[in-house]
């Protein structure tokens, strides 16, 4: 008889505890619950980053806007940060910043025999000529996409961006300079 009482009583006690918890909460508290591991929903509390962007033809700008709209809010553990630019074709994350600019010119050093790195289906030309930054440029898309990182940043940002770039900008034949 004690086992039956326990089997019936225990769920009843748990249900009452949950009911008391729900009714005791503040009904005016409309704030979303904080969930560990949930993606960030607010930009990092960092000053806006001034980013120069190129003049773009309408079709290039349309392709870049599709890409920018698909970019993740969090990239390689860094949260999106505010950007100031003439056109909305740039995005940045973290500090030191990872900066993406869509629609840039073909990289000056990108020639027929340039070594490329393929990551997640995207061909990247990597420029390490400036000791203060590394510039990765996706060179197998209808528009060039540049990602600038600090010299101590690994390939995690471009690895994470590869599927987004591949999903929004179709691959095309390489067009290196002479």
Tens digits of per-residue pLDDT, 89-98?
999 999 999 9
Task: Kindly tell me the sign of the dihedral angle through the C-alpha atoms of 94, 73, 169, 173.
Answer: positive
The whole-number pLDDT of residue 3 equals 37
Percent residues over pLDDT 70 in the chain: 75
The whole-number pLDDT of residue 43 equals 67
The whole-number pLDDT of residue 78 equals 96
The whole-number pLDDT of residue 44 equals 66
pLDDT-flagged residues of the chain (< 50): 1-40
Compute the distance between CA of residue 99 and CA of residue 153 in angstroms, rounded to an integer: 12
Tens digits of per-residue pLDDT, 133-158?
999 999 999 999 999 999 999 999 99
Structure tokens belonging to residue 139: 């060179």
* Domain residue extents for the chain: 49-168
The torsion angle over the Cα atoms of residues 27, 29, 32 and 37, rounded to 10 degrees, is: -100
What's the alpha-carbon Rg for the chain, to the nearest Å? 24
Whole-model pTM: value is: 0.76
């Amino acid at each position: 008889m004690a086992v039956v009482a326990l089997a019936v009583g225990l769920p009843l006690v748990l249900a009452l505890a949950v009911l008391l918890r729900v009714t005791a909460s503040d009904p005016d508290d409309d704030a979303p619950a904080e969930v560990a591991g949930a993606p960030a929903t607010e930009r990092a509390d960092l000053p806006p980053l001034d980013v120069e962007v190129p003049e773009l033809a309408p079709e290039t700008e349309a392709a870049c806007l599709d890409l920018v709209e698909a970019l993740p809010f969090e990239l390689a553990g860094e949260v999106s940060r505010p950007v100031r630019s003439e056109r909305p074709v740039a995005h940045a994350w973290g500090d030191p910043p990872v900066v993406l600019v869509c629609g840039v010119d073909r990289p000056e050093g990108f020639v027929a025999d340039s070594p490329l790195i393929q990551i997640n289906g995207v061909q990247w030309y990597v420029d390490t000529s400036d000791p203060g930054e590394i510039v990765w440029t996706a060179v197998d898309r209808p528009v060039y996409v540049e990602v600038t990182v600090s010299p101590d940043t690994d390939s995690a940002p471009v690895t994470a961006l590869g599927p987004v770039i591949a999903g929004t900008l179709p691959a095309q034949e390489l067009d290196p300079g002479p």
